[in-house]
């Protein structure tokens, strides 16, 4: 969320919230007990916990425990993804407080390796790599012609299949056949879902494009020598379109925008606007942004938008494709968080970690719905942006850092390798590197190899 500089101290909110990653070095993973000590306890925004209680039917203690468990689940899953290699079938959390992390494998002999890491093993037919490849084949066909009557498809790790939503199963079968995808990898699910983008009704915070349409701010960013701005959805405006802020004062313009295909954009703002590492909680308190580490599937996630405010749910599937009337978007993340028109571009955040910007979906916040977000790390990487976060990582950055290929501001994906201080490291969870997050300091993100 961006605040006008003229707001002064009264417009800024005290930073609250704990770095999710810090919890990974504390209590053991997998506790259902609300009394289990963890570094997140008492440090998350009361509003965040209240929204999780409302939308996920949790107590405040259960919400704190869930956040701590989910932060550790990412590190466990990342470690096993590397050690299992080709047999890795995906990972997800389960239980009211995410006390269990399940890791799938195609090789039954690897079950002991999984349980030794504190996870539960599930033997499946297909590796995640094979399912991802099948979905990529569907995406390639959709690039040339969006499939009729098949608005959504994604890799569902819990079902170990590529799931296609359709009101006409025969249409889904034709789509899969055109892509050359083996039917054994697929699950066709009958659905009347009709996703649309969330723009053009009267915004985190609202902003206005041109003379009328409205969207929501995603996350504050900077670029290069100090150009401030924010990320948002690409369908909200084309490159060059001008914007005004929530107060209808001149704000900036779209510096880059991609839609369809992807759904991300960034707006550069004028000197009257100052980026802050916060998200509007709409009556539940301001949320602090401390990084962009990707949460594991089934983890809790909350959304902020200018139409419906603050709502929470869980991450359903990460590698999803969705077809709007304007074309197909991929990859986006599927959630069961509700949203409505005008929420587009708004923030998706898990704990204190930015996840993405609202793209579109179906349903509403009265009866419930499905919403997709564009992962924020993709936008940061494509446009060369740096996420605005609270000062400092898990430790103070070294004043005279050792050499290596690791660098701040770089977006790393799981499996990427770097060197730092003469040691090689492999990335466990996707994130944008920040000062203080040097590989030796964050074993939740980097594993020495």
Q: Which of 126, 235, 311, 431 is catalytic?
A: 235
User: Catalytic site residue 100?
Assistant: no
Q: Which of 344, 350, 359, 362 is catalytic?
A: 344
Tell me the C-alpha distance between 34 and 20, whole Å.
17
Beta partners for residue 432, in sequence order = 411
Q: What are phi and psi of 36, to 5 degrees?
A: -65, 130
User: Catalytic site residue 167?
Assistant: no
Q: Which of 100, 139, 156, 263 is catalytic?
A: 263
User: Catalytic site residue 257?
Assistant: no
As a three-state string, the secondary structure of the chain is: CEEEHHHHHHHCCCCCCCCHHHHHHCCCCCCCCCCCCCCCCCCCCHHHHHHHHHHHCCCHHHHHHHHHHHHHHHHHHHHHHHHHHHHEEEEEEECCCCCEEEEEECCHHHHHHHHHCCCEEEECCCCHHHHHHHHHHHHHHHHHCCCCCCCEEEEECCCCEEEEEECCHHHHHHHHHHHCCCHHHEEEEECCCCCEECCCCCCCCEEEECCCEEEECCEEEEECCCEEEEEECHHHCCCCCEEECCCCCEEEEEEEEECCECCEEEEEECCCEEECCEECCCCCCCEECCECCCCCECCEEEEEECCCEEEEEEEEEEEEEEEECCEEEEEEEEECCCCCCCCCCCEEEECCEEEEEEEEEEEECCCEEEEEEEEHHHHHHHHCEEECCCCCCCCCCCCCCCCECCCCCCEECCCCEEEECCEEEEECCCEECCCCCCHHHCCCCEEEC
Which residues are part of the catalytic machinery?
A: 235, 263, 344
């Amino acid at each position: 969320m961006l605040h006008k500089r003229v707001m002064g101290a009264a417009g800024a909110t005290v930073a609250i919230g704990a770095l999710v990653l810090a919890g990974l070095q504390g209590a053991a993973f997998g506790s259902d007990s609300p009394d289990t000590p963890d570094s997140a306890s008492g440090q998350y925004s009361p509003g965040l916990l209240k929204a999780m209680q409302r939308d996920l039917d949790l107590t405040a203690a259960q919400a704190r425990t869930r956040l701590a468990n989910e932060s550790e689940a990412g590190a466990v899953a990342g470690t096993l993804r590397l050690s299992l290699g080709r047999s890795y079938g995906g990972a997800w959390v389960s239980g009211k407080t995410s006390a269990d992390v399940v890791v799938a494998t195609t090789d039954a002999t690897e079950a002991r390796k999984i349980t030794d890491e504190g996870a539960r093993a599930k033997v499946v037919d297909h590796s995640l790599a094979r399912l991802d490849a099948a979905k990529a084949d569907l995406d390639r066909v959709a690039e040339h012609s969006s499939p009729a009557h098949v608005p959504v498809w994604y890799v569902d790790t819990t079902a170990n299949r590529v799931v296609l939503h359709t009101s006409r199963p025969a249409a889904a079968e034709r789509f899969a056949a055109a892509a050359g995808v083996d039917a054994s990898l697929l699950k066709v699910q009958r659905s009347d879902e009709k996703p649309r983008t969330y723009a053009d009704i009267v915004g985190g915070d609202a902003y206005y494009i041109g003379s009328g349409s409205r969207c929501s701010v995603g996350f504050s960013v900077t670029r290069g020598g100090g150009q401030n701005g924010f990320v948002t959805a690409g369908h909200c405006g084309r490159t060059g379109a001008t914007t005004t802020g929530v107060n209808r004062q001149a704000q900036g313009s779209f510096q880059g925008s991609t839609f369809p295909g992807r759904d991300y954009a960034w707006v550069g703002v004028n000197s009257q606007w100052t980026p802050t590492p916060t998200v509007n909680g709409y009556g539940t308190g301001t949320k602090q942004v401390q990084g962009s580490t990707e949460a594991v599937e089934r983890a809790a996630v909350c959304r902020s938008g200018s139409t419906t405010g603050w709502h929470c749910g869980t991450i359903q599937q990460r590698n999803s494709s969705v077809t709007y009337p304007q074309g197909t978007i991929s990859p986006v993340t599927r959630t069961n968080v509700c949203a409505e028109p005008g929420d587009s571009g708004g923030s998706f955040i898990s704990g204190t970690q930015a996840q993405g910007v609202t793209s579109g979906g179906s349903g509403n916040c009265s009866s419930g719905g499905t919403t997709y977000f564009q992962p924020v790390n993709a936008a940061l990487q494509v446009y060369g942006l740096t996420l605005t976060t609270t000062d400092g990582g898990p430790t103070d950055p070294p004043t005279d850092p050792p050499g290596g290929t690791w660098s701040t501001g770089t977006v790393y994906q799981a499996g990427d390798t770097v060197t730092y201080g003469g040691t090689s490291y492999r990335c466990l969870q996707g994130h944008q590197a920040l000062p203080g997050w040097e590989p030796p300091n964050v074993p939740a993100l980097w594993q020495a190899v």
